[in-house]
Amino acid sequence: MSFKGLEHHLEKNLYNTPKGPIRLNVLWEDMLLSLPQLKHSPMTVLDIGGGAGKMSIKLAELGHRVTLCDASEEMLNIAEANIRKECPEPDIRLIHSEIDSLHMQVREKFDLVLIHGVLEWIDDPERAFTSAASFVKDGGFMSLLFYNMDRLILKCGIHGHFKRIQTGTYIRMGQKKKLTPTNPLRQSDVDGWIKNEKLETVSKAGIRIFYDLFRNEECYRNREAELEIIEKTYSRMEPYASIAQHIHLVCRKISATGDK
């Protein structure tokens, strides 16, 4: 299972459509709410699977020292071009690496580790999560964004795909390349991984609650600003957060002494 080959598909079908900016803006606002220190003190940041560099650029602009790694060399080229265009004096280091071999190139631990939209593309997401968590220093934070299986089941039911629900094959295979990952995650599983790695959840938000739940994109045409306000308003409210397309968890690493 891999994201390879979807690099330009991502640019075309995510970042160049309303859902891309809405996802990015709602996620960024939630990060600032969950981690107010982002605005006040420089941090060391590891952006695992940072893709086109959108989040790394935002963090670098606030004065943080960022290491962006990605398994796709082509995606890193896109990130490098975006950095040159949007961030004239960036403190961003780019590393080409799979998550499993990242320890061979990165030795330090970080104040903040981002792993956004990565685990759902990996055959062994728990192992990848464990690897990512090992880069968080004691008292540091992890920002985790993952594709929500429960939302996918809900959409299958709404659109009458009952066989997919019964068989657990929520993704239609054999289509053209799509951005729906074939290994979506349940929060109940992720919560167990968080506990095992001595992390505690600080905050939870749903990213893209309303957009694309039904096939009603025409309702949103030229109303992106209104939609973004509604998405932000309900992102931290239940049950909306738990049925969003993506779930964003901010976790803190409990120190060896038990101090927070």
Give, for all 260 residues of the chain, the pLDDT tens digit: 445 555 555 555 555 566 788 899 999 999 999 999 999 999 999 999 999 999 999 999 999 999 999 999 999 999 999 999 987 777 899 999 999 999 999 999 999 999 999 999 999 999 999 999 999 999 999 999 999 999 999 999 998 989 988 888 777 655 555 667 888 999 999 999 999 999 999 999 999 999 888 877 778 778 889 999 999 999 999 999 999 999 999 999 997 665 55
* Contact indicator for 112, 43 with CB cutoff of 8 Å: yes
Record the pTM.
0.90
Question: Are the C-beta atoms of 120 and 183 separated by less than 8 Å?
Answer: yes
CATH number for domain 7-148+185-253, candidates 3.40.50.150, 1.20.1260.10, 1.10.760.10, 3.30.420.40: 3.40.50.150
What are the structural domain ranges in the chain?
Answer: 7-148+185-253
Residue with tokens 């759902």: 120
